[in-house]
Chains A and B, each alone.
Chain A
Amino acid sequence: MSSEVKVIEGRGIPLVGNDIDTDRIIPARFLRCVTFDGLGEQAFADDRVQAKGEHPFDQPQYQGANILVVNGNFGCGSSREHAPQALAKWGIQAVVGESFAEIFFGNCVAIGIPGVTAEPTTVKQLQTILQENPQASITVDLDAMQVHCGDFQASVSMGEGSRQMLTTGTWDTCVQLLAQIDPIRATVAKLPYVDWDSRVVATSL
């Protein structure tokens, strides 16, 4: 079983902007790899070059941060798990945002990283606090569904299923899925196409 993810605390890193896509989180050229190792250094590679040291992922005050605070539609674009993997390898353990692209969100949960959503005003407030005081402590609490940052606190949301998977340590789905071998076989048995195409598959192999 995977580990329980309930309360993540540490320091925050604000990343302002809507529609930050997976090509920006990890540009395609870094996907030429057969493991996820080493992706951390490439996170936001192109944005960082363009920001000439001013990108939060480069700024000294945010080194060692583990909670990323973003705006709307974060992680849109491709299904590459390399995106959350790159963030995770950089050190991110939770993401707070106005909204997430669906596949990205699922990919985060699949590797034990909660993505919680908050009101735009809350996100703004968090980003402002973290800009003014990068050392502020920040906590994402999946039991209470709250975020605390300095003196500020607000409620956050997450789909109940995903929340439970994280808090009960069942976010690694593989084991659960494999426990259902008999129901899987029963489902296959009632799919009409399995009959006809397995024959084609078998004969053309």
Chain B
Amino acid sequence: MSARTLFDKVWDLHTVGILPSGQTQLFIGLHLIHEVTSPQAFAMLRERGLKVLYPDRTVATVDHIVPTENQSRPFADVLAEEMMQALENNCKEYGVRFYNIGSGSQGIVHVIAPELGLTQPGMTIACGDSHTSTHGAFGAIAFGIGTSQVRDVLASQTLALSKLKVRKIEVNGKLPPGVYAKDVILHIIRTLGVKGGVGYAYEFAGTTFEQMSMEERMTVCNMSIEGGARCGYVNPDEVTYEYLKGRDFAPKDAEWDKAVSWWNSLRSDEDAVYDDVVTFDAAEIAPTVTWGITPGQGIAVNEVVPVADTLPESEKAIAQEAYRYMDFTPGTPIQGTKVNVCFIGSCTNGRISDLREAAKFAKGKHVAQGVKAFVVPGSERVKKEAEAEGLDKIFLEAGFEWREPGCSMCLAMNPDKLQGTQLSASSSNRNFKGRQGSSTGRTLLMSPAMVVAAAIKGEVSDVRELMLQESVS
């Protein structure tokens, strides 16, 4: 057989057949559900008198709507309470495992599945949420689906899909100090554009990704969707296995060894052929901040808001719209922009390593006056681990709020929202208009370390300067 990518191998293995439309019927190894995109799918099942074909291959949690302050039931928000009850009832009725609040394992769906060892190399994973691409960090083919597709997976454990092309994105070298996985993916999206990945799966390869921890790889794969790619993945290696070993759902004993050799066989072949290859040099990546209303409108923190004339034709109109919406003047530095709210959390950067890194910078400092800063751990496990390490104290002493796990102000479906035209420095993944709960609210995406830097100075700041001060003092 000719050389193949991991994508090809996993796709072929899960192919049930070819449908009359020419699409592939693909088996889904792991289906994750949450309260926002599943109730209508269950309603469709009911309407058609269908059952869930493989209930043990679907796992549920609640994340988008959960309040991060007062979690007592019923929720103050009646709509949120209604969604919560719908999920509880659906899981009960159809026999779906559900990690509810207080279970010790609840959290953002893309944080808990890896944590539990549910996410494994070689699987196909689907969830009614576009950031399902996160799970590709393990060498899985993982993508977001719509509610009708959630219905299809519940009913048949399969989906009708067209095969994607594969683009290899190679980044080589060591990241400079102050530059994180978040900066890498923001840099890639800035370069390839928000529609650059349409029709593609992204394979992240090269020494930079090889050196990354699993959590860093998840940050990168998470935002594949912001680059237009439906999924992104990293070939599994020792780092992957090290992370997985011993987790709740990871194979044990003799099966572990069998699993590892199977996983190794799935890696893209050396001479695999790609539809496209793009290469980056890690040394050229700087701490990156978005200035506009799409994740592709990013610049290095020491650059100026770009002038429309210098942009490609296709970018000009959206740049004009961004100047207006963000109230930024082209040609002015982004550094020094006053911030009102600082948010650390989300499925992009709400994991333990993110909180550790953020705490490093927050330690012994204080949030600037007038700035609201808060930390929302990605899951109950992350929260517990952080508290065991005393990170909560560091944040609290520095003037950050310490919250209960959930999606929170990543999309503001719960009470955490921007007010009016407030400007937020956020470790999340989307800076769309209105994304953080105010229809005129403004979002600047950046790494958790950069969010802390912004919180302390009260304005967009270069985390490298903070590092410099540290080493001097």
Binding site for B on A (CB under 8 A): 17-19, 21, 23-24, 27-29, 31-36, 45-47, 49-50, 72-73, 76-82, 84-85, 99, 101-103, 106-107, 110-111, 159-162, 164-165, 168, 170, 172-174, 176-178, 180-181, 183-184, 186-188, 190-198, 200-202, 204-205
Smallest CB–CB gap between B141 and chain A, Å?
13
How far does the alpha carbon of A18 sit from the alpha carbon of B228 in the complex, in Å?
14
| Binary flags per residue of B415-431, CB closer than 8 Å to A gives 1, else 0 | 00000000000000010
**Is A35's CB under 8 angstroms from B43's CB?**
yes
Q: How far is the CA of A34 from the CA of B43 in the complex (A)?
A: 9
Please pick, from B149, B158, B198, B251, the residue contacting A184 in the complex, using a CB distance under 8 A.
Answer: B158
Interchain Cβ contacts under 8 Å between A and B, 18 examples:
A17-B321, A23-B434, A24-B434, A79-B37, A81-B147, A85-B147, A99-B195, A107-B147, A161-B22, A164-B22, A170-B20, A174-B155, A176-B25, A177-B155, A181-B156, A184-B27, A187-B14, A196-B252
B146 interface neighbour in A21, A28, A103, A202, Cβ under 8 Å:
A103
Q: Once the chains are docked, how many angstroms separate the CA of A73 from the CA of B56? A: 37
- Please give, as numbers and ranges, the residues of chain A lying within 8 Å of B412 by CB-CB distance: 28-29
B432's partner among A24, A107, A161 (CB-CB below 8 A) is A24
Return chain A residues, CB-CB under 8 Å to B56. 198, 201-202, 205
Question: Which residues of B lie under 8 Å from residue A187 when comparing CB positions?
Answer: 14-16, 27
- Can you name the residue of chain B whose Cβ is closest to the Cβ of A200? B249
Bound CA–CA A61/B184 (angstroms): 47
Indicate if the CB atoms of B194 and A19 lie closer than 8 Å: yes
Contact, CB under 8 Å: B252 / A77:
no
Q: Is B145 an interface residue (CB 8 A)?
A: yes
When distances are taken between beta carbons in the complex, the residues of chain A under 8 Å from B82 are 34
- Is B218 located at the chain interface by the 8 A CB criterion? no
**Known contacts A176-B25, A193-B123, A205-B56, then 11 further A-B pairs from the complex at CB < 8 Å, ordered by chain A residue:** A19-B293, A32-B80, A32-B83, A34-B82, A36-B40, A79-B145, A106-B149, A161-B21, A184-B53, A193-B120, A197-B120
User: Would you call the interface of chain A mostly helix, strand, loop, or mixed?
Assistant: helix
B residues in contact with A32, CB < 8 Å: 65, 77, 79-80, 83, 413
Task: Please tell me if the beta carbons of B19 and A27 are within 8 angstroms of each other in the complex.
Answer: no
Q: Is A49 a contact partner of B439 (Cβ separation < 8 A)?
A: yes
B39: which A residues are within 8 A, CB to CB? 34-35
A38 to B77 CA separation, bound complex (whole angstroms): 19
A46 touches B439 (CB 8 A): yes
How far apart are A174's CB and chain B's nearest CB, in angstroms?
5
Give which listed residue, A21, A78, A161, A191, contacts B23 with CB less than 8 A: A161
> Which B positions have Cβ atoms within 8 angstroms of A?
13-17, 19-23, 25, 27, 29, 36-37, 39-40, 43-44, 48, 50, 53-54, 56, 64-65, 77, 79-80, 82-83, 86, 97, 120, 122-123, 128-130, 132, 144-149, 151-152, 155-160, 162, 194-195, 198-199, 228, 230, 248-252, 255, 258-259, 262, 293-294, 314, 317-318, 321, 411-413, 430, 432-435, 437, 439-440
**Once the chains are docked, how many angstroms separate the CA of A84 from the CA of B146?**
10
> B122, A193: Cβ atoms under 8 Å?
yes
Residue of B nearest to A163 (CB): B21
Q: Whole-angstrom distance between the alpha carbons of A18 and B36 in the complex?
A: 27
- Per the bound structure, the CA–CA distance linking A45 and B433 in Å amounts to 12
B59 to chain A: closest residue by CB? A201
List B contacts of A178 (CB < 8 A): 50, 155-156
CB-defined contacts of A201 to chain B, threshold 8 Å = 56, 97, 249
CA distance A73 to B195 in the complex (A): 7
CB atoms of A23 and B430 under 8 A apart? yes
Name the CB-closest residue of B to A175.
Answer: B48
Q: Are A200 and B17 in contact (CB under 8 A)?
A: no
List of B residues within 8 angstroms of A184 by Cβ: 16, 25, 27, 53, 156-158
Q: How far is the CB of B428 from chain A (nearest CB, A)?
A: 12
Q: Which residues of A contact B435 (CB under 8 A)?
A: 23, 28
